[in-house]
Amino acid sequence: MAALLTISSIAAWAQTPECTDDLKTAKYSEWYDNRKDKQDVAYKAAVDFLTACPNEPEDGAWGPQVKALKKFKVDYEALNSSKELATKFDTAVKSNNYADQIKYGKQLVAANSDNTLVYIYMAAAGANDLNLAADAIPAAKKAIELIEAGKPFAPAFQNSKDVALATLNYSLAKMTAKSSPTDAIPYFIKAAKYESPLKKDARIYNELAAAYAEQVAKLTQDYQPFVGKSETTESKLVLANLNQAMDAQIDALARATALADAANKPALMERLTQVYEDRNKKKDGVDQLVAGILAKPLPDPPKPITELPSTPTPGTPPVGTSGASGNGSAAGSAAGSSTTGSPKPTSTAPTSNIKPATPGTTPAKPTATPTPRPRQRANHRG
């Protein structure tokens, strides 16, 4: 073994040519002649020169040539490294290897921070594997920023800018909802407002309703200490915000019901009726609500109510109600989320079946002498 290593070392040493002017002239000429059309040949010539003459000074007679060869070598290696990364990234995208999409995508954008397509596919990776959301959420936001600035989005999206932005916002919503459903609400709404297939997809509204239901559950919990006690400004504000959240939940459920197919509509209608009755203390009006809901614009996320109106206008429902009395019902249920299907960067929206939101915690109904209703364990399906 020692003899073999010695022979190998001698052979390697013998293959390194002597640094002579003739060698430098020959290798530099070979590089120069091939640097544009045959860069692999030029690269080898540059390596041969620099290997044979590692100590050639950059301020000597051959200084300009040495600098040119060193720069070419660095640029060539960087370019080929990027090509290799791009190949690995492309393979990851085609094979739905979401972890590698993030891994190689991060390396690619480190070298080119304006590569919209890489950010788009990184966002898709996180939407399909929520465990990757930490890296995918910034990528989705960057992709949106670049597309809004006019950067290209094809071939990831072929249809339109609206389709691209709708899908990316939907991806953001799904990823954000994993840890904070309330923070996901603005992204669901933005996604649904673009002119894209998602605008008529029942699932996005069902998921929006589930996010609002988390708000309802939180505000219901906040209201519990006031049950059975005299009303105060604080209790009225909590109730107003609770009613407002329920109204938004009802709107989203009505849209999901109106757009649902025959298989899913009954369950969604049942869920909507339950929340509507809790909020308005009646069932009348649900059919009319569903029939006309799509003619109305999708509301923006409700802003927190921080003060009560000083003097209510006669005949106008108090803040936070939708036709109920001044002590309007704060009852409602936290809808379970339905997240079947994940947005991929394609020209169409996902087509998985909808799973309707399911009952969760039932808030207490505030009355003159409020009596808490029993709370149920949240039952999330989907």
156 compared with 267, residue with greater pLDDT: 267
Percentage of the chain modeled with pLDDT above 70: 76
Half-sphere exposure at residue 300, Cβ-oriented, CA atoms within 13 angstroms: 2
Phi, psi of 371 (to 5 degrees): -125, 120
How much is the pLDDT for 240? 95
How much is the pLDDT for 322? 38
How much is the pLDDT for 318? 43
Q: Is the pLDDT reported for residue 138 higher than 80?
A: yes
Q: At what angle do helices 98-111 and 133-148 cross, to 10 degrees?
A: 50
Averaged confidence pLDDT in the chain: 80
**103 contacts 96 by C-beta, under 8 angstroms:** no
- Residues paired with 371 in a beta bridge: 365
CA atoms of 376 and 360, how far apart (whole Å): 6
Q: Is the pLDDT reported for residue 146 higher than 50?
A: yes
Q: Which tens digits make up the pLDDT trace of 217-259?
A: 999 999 999 999 999 999 999 999 999 999 999 999 999 999 9
- Reported residue count of the chain is 382
Q: Is the pLDDT reported for residue 175 higher than 90?
A: yes
- Residue 211 makes CB contacts below 8 A (sequence gap 6+) with 173, 177, 181, 182, 184, 185, 188, 337
- Residue 283 makes CB contacts below 8 A (sequence gap 6+) with 273, 276, 277
361 compared with 26, residue with greater pLDDT: 26
How much is the pLDDT for 311? 58
Helix, strand, or coil (residue 177): helix
SS in 3 state form for 232-269?
CHHHHHHHHHHHHHHHHHHHHHHHHHHHCCCCCHHHHH
Average pLDDT over residues 15-30: 89
**212 contacts 183 by C-beta, under 8 angstroms:** no
Phi, psi of 365 (to 5 degrees): -95, 115
How much is the pLDDT for 75? 78
Cα-Cα-Cα-Cα dihedral of 172, 173, 174, 177, to 10°?
Answer: 120
DSSP state of 19: -
Q: Is the pLDDT reported for residue 14 higher than 80?
A: no
How much is the pLDDT for 249? 97
Q: Which tens digits make up the pLDDT trace of 74-95?
A: 877 766 667 888 899 999 999 9
When pLDDT is cut at 50, 70 and 90, the band that residue 158 belongs to is confident
322 compared with 26, residue with greater pLDDT: 26
Average pLDDT over residues 108-135: 93
Percentage of the chain modeled with pLDDT above 90: 64
Q: Which tens digits make up the pLDDT trace of 301-338?
A: 999 999 988 755 555 444 333 333 333 444 333 333 33
**360 contacts 234 by C-beta, under 8 angstroms:** no
**Site of tokens 């670049």:** 146
Q: Is the pLDDT reported for residue 372 higher than 80?
A: no
When pLDDT is cut at 50, 70 and 90, the band that residue 64 belongs to is very high
DSSP state of 225: G
Return the structure tokens found at 135. Answer: 């890296």
**Site of tokens 């239901």:** 213
How much is the pLDDT for 347? 32
Which pTM does this prediction carry?
Answer: 0.66
CA atoms of 357 and 270, how far apart (whole Å): 10
How much is the pLDDT for 204? 97
How much is the pLDDT for 15? 62
Q: Is the pLDDT reported for residue 346 higher than 80?
A: no
When pLDDT is cut at 50, 70 and 90, the band that residue 270 belongs to is very high
DSSP secondary structure string for all residues of 293-342: GGGSPPPPPPPPP-S--SSPPTTSPPTT-SS--TT------PPPP---S-
CA 321 from chain centre, in angstroms, equals 33
- Whole-number Cα distances in Å, 135 to 41, 175, 248, 279, 338: 39, 10, 31, 39, 23
Q: Is the pLDDT reported for residue 345 higher than 70?
A: no
Return the structure tokens found at 191. Answer: 């996604």
Burial of 150 (0-12, 13-18, 19+ CB in 10 A): exposed
CA atoms of 216 and 9, how far apart (whole Å): 75
Burial of 378 (0-12, 13-18, 19+ CB in 10 A): middle
When pLDDT is cut at 50, 70 and 90, the band that residue 17 belongs to is confident
How much is the pLDDT for 266? 96
- Whole-number Cα distances in Å, 353 to 112, 178, 187, 259, 366: 38, 20, 21, 12, 37
Q: Which tens digits make up the pLDDT trace of 289-301?
A: 999 999 999 999 9
74 compared with 179, residue with greater pLDDT: 179
How much is the pLDDT for 236? 94
**333 contacts 361 by C-beta, under 8 angstroms:** yes
**Site of tokens 């909507």:** 272
